[in-house]
Amino acid sequence: MTFELQHTDSGSAARVGLVTTNHGPVETPVFMPVGTLGSVKGVHLRELKDDIKAQIILGNTYHLYLRPGLDVLEKAGGLHRFNGFDRPMLTDSGGFQVFSLTGIRKLSAEGCEFRSHIDGSKHFFTPERVMDIERTIGADIMMAFDECPPGTADYAYARRSLDLTHDWLRRCWKRFHETSPRYGYNQALFPIVQGCVYKDLRRESARFMADFGAEGYAIGGLAVGEPAEVMYEMIEVVNEILPADRPRYLMGVGTPVNILEGIARGVDMFDCVMPTRNGRNAMLFTANGVMNLRNAKWAHDFSVIDEAAYSFVDTAYTKAYLHHLFKAKELLAMQIASIHNLAFYLWLTAEARRHVLCGDFSTWKSDMCGRLMNKL
C-alpha cells in the first residue's frame, strides 16, 4: 500500500491524498461504509459500487470470525471473493467489539477470553491470533489488536490500558512480519493510537506508534462518550505527531459535522454505522440538515430528498413517498434511506476534497457545518 499526499489546505490541516492498494485506489478524504458481516446492511453490491460509488468498505474481524467463520472465508479465497467486492477493504481488529462484551469477557496481558454473543461458546483472542484471522479474512488494510477504554475512564485505567495496547502492538507487528498474505496481494497493518482523553497519553501513544514506520495509522478510542470538543482536541494532539506522509484513519466517527471537523484537523479516512443505522430508523442526513421521515410534515412533500446527494444515484425518491414507506413499514424504506445516507456521506467527503483543492475549504466547511446541524 502507498499513500501520496497531493495537496494541503492553507487555512487548516485539511489535506487530500491517494491511497493505492492492490485492489485499486482510494481518494482521500474518504468515508468507508461499514460492512460488519461482509455486507453493508440493506445495500446490494451493484448499488454500493455504481450508485454510492464506495471506494473502500470495512469489515469486522470479531463478527466475521464467528460468522461465517474462517474455514468458509479461506475456502472462498478471502472476503473479496466471498462477497464480490473487488475494491479495497479494511478490517478492524475486533478489539472494540470484544471489549464491549461486558460480563462475558476476561482481559489479561496475554489476550482476551470472551464468549460469543451468538451461542455463548468460549474463544480467546491474542494479538498473534488476530493477525492470523485478519490475514485469513484478506482485507487490504488490517488493524492492530488494541484495548478501547471508555471515554470516561480515569487516568489510572487509561494508563494501564495504553501499556497493554502498546505491548500488544509489538506482538502484532512481530506476527504480521512473520506471516504472509494468503491470497496473492499485499496487506498493510495500521497501529491504533489510544490514550483516552489525556493529552500526555495521546502524545506518548502517537510517538510510540510513529516509530514503527507503518504504512498508515488509526486513531481509536474516540466518540465513546467524551464531549465532541474533547475529541477534536485529541485529534489535534495526535496529528501533530503522526507522520504527514501516511494516511490517518479516525475510527468509528461519526456525524457529518464530526467528519468535517476531523478533515479540518488532518484526518483522511472515516467509518461509522450511523448512515445505515439511522437510515433504518427514518433519520436522513442532507446538505440542509437532518430529517425524520416518519414525521407527518413530509406526507405531502413531493420534492426529492436531497438534490446534492442524489447526484450519486439514478432515482430521486420524494420525501412523501419515503414517508409513506416508513409508515407502512415497507422494507424498501430502510433500503432507500440507507442508500441515501451513504450517498450523502460519500458526497460530503468528495466535496471536502474538492474544496481543499479549490482553496476555500475553511469557508465552505463553516457554512456547511451550520447547515448540517439544522433539524428539518
pLDDT of residue 314: 53
- Kind and range of the H or E run holding 7: strand 2-8
| Active centre residues (catalytic) | 92, 271
Region for residue 321 given its phi and psi (left: phi exceeds 0; alpha: psi -120 to 50; beta: otherwise): alpha
pLDDT of residue 224: 85
**In the predicted structure, residue 261 carries a pLDDT above the cut 60:** yes
Q: Which amino acid is at 186?
A: N
pLDDT digits (tens, 9 = 90+) for 24-35: 999 999 999 999
Question: 225 falls in which pLDDT band (50, 70, 90)?
Answer: confident
pLDDT of residue 269: 98
d(CA 133, CA 158): 27
**In the predicted structure, residue 312 carries a pLDDT above the cut 70:** no
pLDDT of residue 315: 65
pLDDT of residue 194: 97
d(CA 297, CA 314): 25
pLDDT digits (tens, 9 = 90+) for 136-161: 999 999 999 998 888 888 999 999 99
More confident residue, 176 or 94: 176
**In the predicted structure, residue 96 carries a pLDDT above the cut 90:** no
Mean pLDDT, range 189-195, rounded to an integer: 98
Contact 88, 77 (CB under 8 A): no
d(CA 181, CA 240): 32
Average pLDDT, the chain: 94
**In the predicted structure, residue 102 carries a pLDDT above the cut 90:** no
Q: Against a cut of 0.75, is the pTM above it?
A: yes
Contacts of 94 (CB under 8 A, 6+ apart): 60, 61, 62, 63, 65, 125, 130, 133, 145
pLDDT of residue 95: 72
pLDDT digits (tens, 9 = 90+) for 317-369: 899 999 999 999 999 999 999 999 999 999 999 999 999 999 999 999 999 99
Residue 181: strand, helix, or coil: coil
